[in-house]
Structure 1
Amino acid sequence: MEATTAGTAPATTTETTSETAGGETGRAPALAPLYRNWRFQALWAGQASATLGLQVADTAYPLLLLALTGSSTLAGAFGALQICATVLFGLHGGSVADRYDRRRVLITADSVRLLAAGSVPLAMALDRLTVVHTLLVAVAIGATIAYSGPVRLLAVRSVVPPEQLRQALAQDEARMSGAGLIGPPLAGYLFGAGRAVPFLGAVVTTLLSLSAALAVRFPSPPKAAEQQPRSSGGALAGFRRLAADPVLRPALAVIFVTNLAGAAMLLPVIVQLRGHGASSGGIGLALAGEAAGALAGAFLVGRLHRLAGPGALLLAVAWTCVPVTLAPLLPGGAATVFAALFLVGLGTPTLRVMIDLLVFRRVSDELRGRVVAATMTLLTIGMPAGMLGSGLLLDHLSPTAALATVAGALAACLLPATAGRTLRRATWPAES
């Protein structure tokens, strides 16, 4: 596999061999523990702050719009506009990550998000906050995610030696899962303390993220790349690279349909639980099962990766989602849903780390930003598509029939990849 800059620029270890007194090459020094890699830990802390702030915002802004207007449509429009902006600017964000200084891109994106986040409590203090202002903030946040997302993925990994990449990615997954578990209830608590409080919290977390970007230097593309606007095939080169790879192509297809089915499952589950008398709090706790499982699964990444190859592991987790989709039809209500989603969540960090390892071992640095952006786009568009599809299903079917349809469609989509040999025979890339 090709060794690339973004995966081989550690701060706390030397991978080159040392010369002995007799002129012979000696062994490289032992790797320093990951917790002593200050650049990784600083970037990780900044990314954790940014993720927590985004999780709080994703809950607080709809609550604010609902309080201002009483309209569920406008409350849902915030998330929809944010996702649309991320997808719309995603391809350009990948090209920018491949052509320009990545640290400057990250600093710029965090600065824009800080201004957008700060404008909300300021407008509230002046009694000038409007719905249009709030929705424009959604677009700004979505756009900054499109530019900072690929850079963050590359930056955190660029300061870790290949031998510790799996461990670093597992720690990164714990950060994402922890933020997903803590963020929504924290947003609700802060909103109850005062309408402006969660947005002030978002300002603080964004400021911490920006501080980490200012403090840490990490590798960027060569200067020559800035003078080649269409180098390596332009903005769509990432999609072409994924489509040409015999392992990444079916792997991403399986993850895409699994994400789509997971998003399509959400609304029928909520309707099903409400029909059985579950409270809003009970439904929220039930849906937190996946985040709780992912947090626990972050500590199982190494063991699961040793247990099976990447393709076999991916198919095993994907097929687990089929019976889990039907779990809400079983007795037990919210508790059953929590347990089922917890089971699926256990495998989520393993799959994310798997994609990272495969991409970072197969893609050269000059294309890496566009490949990351293409991957994020493919995995993001499945969510609104699944939500829209589930709404259409519920217009014509009962929640039970809708869940059975989603489970059947997922199984049908997984059959070709399972029958093929490519994924089942895929192996882990070398770690150096």
Structure 2
Amino acid sequence: MTALQVERGAGTEPEPVVPLRRNWRFQALWSGAAASMLGTMVADTAYPLLLLAMTGSPTLAGAFGAVQFTVSLLLGLHGGALADRRDRRVILIVSDAVRVLATLSVPAALWLGRLTVPHVLLVAAVLGATVAYAGPVRMLAVRSVVPPSQLRQALTQDEVRVNGASLLGPPLAGLLLGLGRAVPFVATALSSLYALATACLVRFDGRPGGAGGEKSGSMLDGLRELGRNRLMCSVLGVIALINLAGSTTLLPVMVLLRDNGVSTTGTGLVLAGEAVGGLLGALLVRPLHRWFGPGVLALLVSGAMVPVLLVPYVSASPVVLFAALVLLALGVPALRVMLDLLVFQRVADEVRGRVIAASMTVLMLGVPLGMFLGGVLLDHFAARTVLGGVAAVLAVALLGMAAPRRLRTAGW
């Protein structure tokens, strides 16, 4: 019997679980999260392009993402702690409202001819803060309105949201910016407004569980909880390793495409292979979880990256690199859903916000570190050499992780 089924006495049949497609609370919250994610992906492209047009400085254009990411990373653990201490629904509503106001300030300043670089960077900081506080809550909210028996299906649908936004966001930002400087920011504000509306209209249990003593715990309790759970710690380590390796290979792939005379538009289309692979990989979540235990699945998906990273030694054509990125991302949705399931299966509700925030922080750290490492390596080695080196290091690291029997024999 699931948590949402109700017993009405001996001999009475439990109420049937509503199919996920007819669960309007989940679908509404999911659509709000999808709108928010799409707006984020549009903004991540549109703001740097706006700064580049305003100043002509690539450094200032890159500063938007740097500020947003840094603030989100610094406040991430506190956001998780707040989600375990305060009403989660209130946190979500306030965060979305602040996001709408901050985003609307940009087109308003453009129309008044008063937009400045400090203004845009301040908006970047505010948006980073809203991600830190709304991120864990939105994940908990979407998952709180489905019964445990449908959690894997709900998480799989959530993977479509993430990868679909990654695929549509950048080209949509360019299209909207071509219609006018203010247009992408108005569109982003509207998407945030829709997310705010769903948070206001859909009621979910926003009260953290557990006793008051837990609510006064440290914001580092999420990291401690992960450290105590060896399976979750190992799975998170594998996914973090994939993030680090994937980020390190991004610049070498771009260099290979440039050396082959591929245009910037063509490069963007090739890099979209990762999002396409994620969308296709959402279809593989259920069979992969059925065929493999969590530890074996983590090792197989990460191990499959090693030969894929060596593909450029055979061919570096745009079509081949696109296919390689698709293959690289196919198993990632199954890993993300697996980590999410483990959090909800093995972590008490009163510390889930902190565990989710800790997981997000660990995974996010690999992105800038990998980008920096890729740039440093390219200063000394050819792009193919960098990819081969990453593949070799990844293989050695995975062999070390696979050596303990604990991960290989772990079950659901």
Q: Is TM more than 0.5 here?
A: yes
Aligned counterpart for 1:217 among listed residues 186, 203, 216: 203
The yes-or-no answer on 1:283 pairing with 2:267 is yes
Q: Which residue of 2 aligns with 1:297?
A: 281
Whether contact under 8 Å (2:84, 2:352) holds in the other structure is yes
Which amino acid counterpart does residue 277 of structure 1 have in structure 2? G
Q: For structure 2, which runs of at least 5 residues remain unmatched after alignment?
A: none
Output the CA distance in 1 between the equivalents of 2:219 and 2:400: 30
Q: Which residue of 2 aligns with 1:92?
A: 78
Whether contact under 8 Å (2:83, 2:208) holds in the other structure is no
The yes-or-no answer on 1:192 pairing with 2:178 is yes
Q: Which residue of 1 aligns with 2:194?
A: 208
Output the CA distance in 1 between the equivalents of 2:254 and 2:127: 27
Q: Which residue of 1 aligns with 2:344?
A: 360
Output the CA distance in 2 between the equivalents of 1:405 and 1:159: 45
RMSD: 1.6
SS at match of 2:406: coil
Output the CA distance in 2 between the equivalents of 1:340 and 1:223: 44
Output the CA distance in 2 between the equivalents of 1:131 and 1:324: 41
Whether contact under 8 Å (2:260, 2:317) holds in the other structure is yes
Aligned counterpart for 2:314 among listed residues 330, 339, 343: 330
Output the CA distance in 1 between the equivalents of 2:397 and 2:103: 41
Which amino acid counterpart does residue 72 of structure 2 have in structure 1? T
The yes-or-no answer on 1:239 pairing with 2:223 is yes
Which amino acid counterpart does residue 224 of structure 2 have in structure 1? R
SS at match of 1:100: coil
Runs of 4+ in 1 over 4 A off after TM superposition: 222-225, 227-230
What is the CA-CA distance between 1:425 and the residue it aligns to?
A: 1.0
Q: Which residue of 2 aligns with 1:11?
A: none
Q: Which residue of 2 aligns with 1:255?
A: 239
What is the CA-CA distance between 1:327 and the residue it aligns to?
A: 2.2
Q: For structure 1, which runs of at least 5 residues remain unmatched after alignment?
A: 9-13
Whether contact under 8 Å (1:44, 1:172) holds in the other structure is yes
Which amino acid counterpart does residue 242 of structure 1 have in structure 2? L
Instruction: Please list the CA deviations of residues 367-405 of structure 1 after superposition, one character each: whole Å capped at 9, or x if unmatched.
Output: 000000000000001100101111111111111221122
Output the CA distance in 2 between the equivalents of 1:88 and 1:192: 34
Which amino acid counterpart does residue 371 of structure 1 have in structure 2? V
Q: Which residue of 1 aligns with 2:6?
A: 16
Which amino acid counterpart does residue 254 of structure 1 have in structure 2? V
Output the CA distance in 2 between the equivalents of 1:133 and 1:328: 43
Which amino acid counterpart does residue 8 of structure 2 have in structure 1? S
What TM-score, normalized to structure 1? Answer: 0.92
Q: Which residue of 1 aligns with 2:96?
A: 110
Output the CA distance in 2 between the equivalents of 1:345 and 1:280: 22
What is the CA-CA distance between 1:54 and the residue it aligns to?
A: 0.2
Q: Which residue of 2 aligns with 1:391?
A: 375
Q: Which residue of 2 aligns with 1:51?
A: 37
Q: Size of the alignment, in residue pairs?
A: 412
User: How many percent of aligned residue pairs carry the same amino acid?
Assistant: 55
Instruction: Please list the CA deviations of residues 279-321 of structure 1 after superposition, one character each: whole Å capped at 9, or x if unmatched.
Output: 1111111110010111111122111111111111111110111
Q: Which residue of 2 aligns with 1:27?
A: 13
Q: Which residue of 1 aligns with 2:408?
A: 424
Q: Which residue of 2 aligns with 1:382?
A: 366
What is the CA-CA distance between 1:328 and the residue it aligns to?
A: 2.9
Q: Which residue of 2 aligns with 1:81?
A: 67
What is the CA-CA distance between 1:332 and the residue it aligns to?
A: 4.8
Q: Which residue of 1 aligns with 2:22?
A: 36
